[in-house]
């Protein structure tokens, strides 16, 4: 499907000409989708618009504050539906799926965006959708308030691994600097999202490294995290966040694969991370997934070991392709 893209000015004009705006975020949300949505909602309210976030039932305790006070009231009838950081309608939450085929504007940075919205503000070179919202604020003629600044810092920091990942851009650093100048407590945010670990998280990491499998002369590392174990230790969504990046810390690993069992037994959320020049999205595309060159995902079903081996084989095939 071709994407009908619009400029910042065109997206801003569309937002400013409407009232009763509803903002959607993706299932199993991260800091970018909720941080960007929070900031956009605050910016629109600053311009006198009635704007709300659609409730996200998957939000973890760490991210739930970004929804607080901004969720749409029961029975709210939107005049404009906006999706933020949502590459495909398949990523809508269970409650958000009611808006399938009804999304007017998508604001995103995923190269794999499927073009499902009537119009799309797409910036595939951006490190995070937070960067797109930052630029959109200027087109709206609005200055992010302290709450929006904090949300935008969370957006760009989490999608860049606290500015460590290879997708980090100069703009991401400039946004962070502006947020710090505005008084955002970056140390507290960094501590919460990148340093603090619960005892459950420690047990998960130990389990991962104890059960890790290597393939293709150690260049591919893959692990399965079963639901029975995570349930037994009382792991929360926050404990399970961003685990695949740990495997990339291992010397010699060019591709890391994490299969995390979902509530439906035998169904696995897959997270793939790669080093340049290898493309994680191509690995996941073979299993009807997608994402970014360095970080992508998909869902697989079946025997855990077989799924792990198939994913590793596809990763090895991609690693052997000429660059």
Q: How far apart are the first and last CA of the chain?
A: 27
Instruction: Give residue 96's pLDDT band: very low, low, confident or very high (50, 70, 90).
Output: very high
- 150-186 pLDDT per residue, tens: 999 999 999 999 999 889 999 999 999 999 999 999 9
- 177-232 pLDDT per residue, tens: 999 999 999 999 999 999 999 999 999 999 999 999 999 999 999 999 999 999 99
Confidence (pLDDT) at 290: 83
Q: Whole-model pTM?
A: 0.86
Q: Distance (Å, rounded) from C-alpha 239 to C-alpha 259?
A: 15
Q: Distance (Å, rounded) from C-alpha 214 to C-alpha 312?
A: 9
Residue 241 predicted with pLDDT over 90: no
Average pLDDT of span 68-94: 95
Give, in order, the Cα–Cα distances in Å from 317 to each of 247, 262, 308, 320: 19, 27, 14, 5
Residue 256 predicted with pLDDT over 60: yes
Confidence (pLDDT) at 124: 94
Structural domains of the chain in order of their starting residue, each with its CATH number: 8-193 (3.90.1640.10), 199-319 (3.10.310.30)
Q: Distance (Å, rounded) from C-alpha 268 to C-alpha 47?
A: 42
Q: Which of 87, 73, 65 is nearest to 22 (CA)?
A: 73
Beta bridge partners of 24: 83
Residue 2 predicted with pLDDT over 80: no
DSSP labels for 200-222?
A: HHHHHHHHHHHS-EEETTTTEEE
SS3 149: helix
Confidence (pLDDT) at 323: 53
Q: Distance (Å, rounded) from C-alpha 223 to C-alpha 94?
A: 28
């Amino acid at each position: 499907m071709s994407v009908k893209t619009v400029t910042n000015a065109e997206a801003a004009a569309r937002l400013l000409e409407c009232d009763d705006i509803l903002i959607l975020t993706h299932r199993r949300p991260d800091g970018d989708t909720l941080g960007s949505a929070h900031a956009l909602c605050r910016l629109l309210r600053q311009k006198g618009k009635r704007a709300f976030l659609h409730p996200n039932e998957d939000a973890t305790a760490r991210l739930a504050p970004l929804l607080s006070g901004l969720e749409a009231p029961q029975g709210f009838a939107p005049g404009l539906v906006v999706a933020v950081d949502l590459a495909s309608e398949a990523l809508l939450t269970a409650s958000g799926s009611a808006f399938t085929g009804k999304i007017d504007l998508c604001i995103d940075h995923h190269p794999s965006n499927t073009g499902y919205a009537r119009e799309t503000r797409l910036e595939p070179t951006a490190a995070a959708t937070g960067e797109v919202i930052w630029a959109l604020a200027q087109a709206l003629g609005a200055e992010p308030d302290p709450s929006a600044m904090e949300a935008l810092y969370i957006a760009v920091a989490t999608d860049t691994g606290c500015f460590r990942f290879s997708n980090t851009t100069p703009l991401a650093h400039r946004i962070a600097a502006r947020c710090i100048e505005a008084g955002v407590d970056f140390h507290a945010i960094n501590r919460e999202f990148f340093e603090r670990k619960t005892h459950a998280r420690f047990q998960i990491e130990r389990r991962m490294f104890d059960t890790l499998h290597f393939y293709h002369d150690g260049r591919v590392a893959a692990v399965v995290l079963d639901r029975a174990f995570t349930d037994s230790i009382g792991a929360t969504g926050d404990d399970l966040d961003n685990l695949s990046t740990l495997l990339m810390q291992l010397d010699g690993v060019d591709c890391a694969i994490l299969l995390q069992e979902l509530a439906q037994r035998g169904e696995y959320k897959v997270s793939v991370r790669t080093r340049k020049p290898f493309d994680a999205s191509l690995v996941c595309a073979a299993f009807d997934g997608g994402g970014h060159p360095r970080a992508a995902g998909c869902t697989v079903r079946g025997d855990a070991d077989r799924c792990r081996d198939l994913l590793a084989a596809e990763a090895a095939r991609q690693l052997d392709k000429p660059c």
